[in-house]
Amino acid sequence: MSCAICDIRKEKRFCPAVHGRICPQCCGEQREVTLDCPSECVYLQQAREHEKPRSAGAFASAELFLETEINDQFLYRYEHLLMGLSYALGKRARADRSINDRDLVSTLTAMAKSYETLVHSGLHYEMPIAGMAQQGIAAEVQNMLKEYREAEQKQLGYSRLRDSEVLKAIVFLVRMAHGRTSGRPKSRAFIDFLLAQFPANPSAINAPDEAGSRIIMP
């Protein structure tokens, strides 16, 4: 029988994205490009195991916000903030299966640019975020920031998180997302990484409505 995609070459593997059998060439060429590959696909998993991470040289400096310095001291001090924001991204992606890595990257990039403007000029200018999915991601991130500041207020009597530190946290996530995604249009490699860190099993993490308890200050 012929491949369900090209209808030319012989089919050799089952593709859960098309619910049919396809050839290895179409699998390799269309994986996460035209095919919305489910995370459990064994061929997708094998491809990720052999895929080399994209180097920083593959990006323009503006994409990675290289002017924003993030050192080990920041990562240690704001580990709980980074964990909370990562959890928020994973939570939103789990709730909306249509979200892919590009949605997360574009939303985080827009938010980073907004905070960059705020930090450098003092102007509150929000970069436009197109699409309901991206707006939902931004709302989830902002809600986690609000919960983090509330946790600080409760424990310290004041909130010490500055906008410059929020910028660094979001830039860190942007860089991590670029480093984890394959860059293909329908890639969910970064999302799958986040979901692996925060499994849905209630015994492994707090329930969504208890997310605030995940960001206790050190």
pLDDT tens readout for residues 6-42:
999 999 999 999 999 999 999 999 999 999 999 999 9
Cα-Cα end-to-end distance for the chain: 61
Residue type, 146: K
Q: What's the rounded mean pLDDT across residues 95-108?
A: 95
pLDDT at residue 63 tops 50:
yes
Max avg pLDDT among 3-7, 116-120, 180-184, 212-216: 3-7
Residue position matching structure tokens 């206790």: 216
The encoded tokens of residue 104 equal: 């997360």
pLDDT of residue 2: 95
Task: Assign 214 a pLDDT band (cuts: 50, 70, 90).
Answer: very low
pTM: 0.85
Whole-number pLDDT of residue 82: 96
Which has the closest alpha carbon to 191: 144, 110, 137? 137
81: pLDDT strictly greater than 90 = yes
Minimum mean pLDDT range among 3-17, 57-71, 107-121: 57-71
Is the model's pLDDT at 207 over the cut of 60?
no
Distance of CA 121 to the CA centre of its chain: 27
43: pLDDT strictly greater than 80: yes
When comparing pLDDT for 199 and 3, which is higher?
Answer: 3
Residue 97 backbone class (left: φ over 0; alpha: ψ -120 to 50; beta: rest): alpha
Select from 179, 188, 183, 182 the least CA-distant residue to 56.
179
Mean pLDDT value of segment 153-158? 89
Q: Residue 93 half-sphere exposure, CB side, CA atoms within 13 Å?
A: 28
Q: Which long-range contacts (CB under 8 A, 24 or more apart) does 48-55 make?
A: 48/182, 48/189, 51/182, 53/179, 54/178, 54/179, 54/183
The DSSP 8-state label assigned to residue 161 in this structure reads -
Helix, strand, or coil (residue 7): coil
Contact yes or no for 103/89 (Cβ under 8 A): no
Confidence category of residue 201, pLDDT binned at 50, 70, 90: low
Q: Across the chain, what does the average pLDDT equal? A: 88
**127 vs 208, more confident:** 127
Instruction: Please tell me the predicted confidence (pLDDT) of residue 87.
Output: 95
% of the chain exceeding 70 in pLDDT: 90
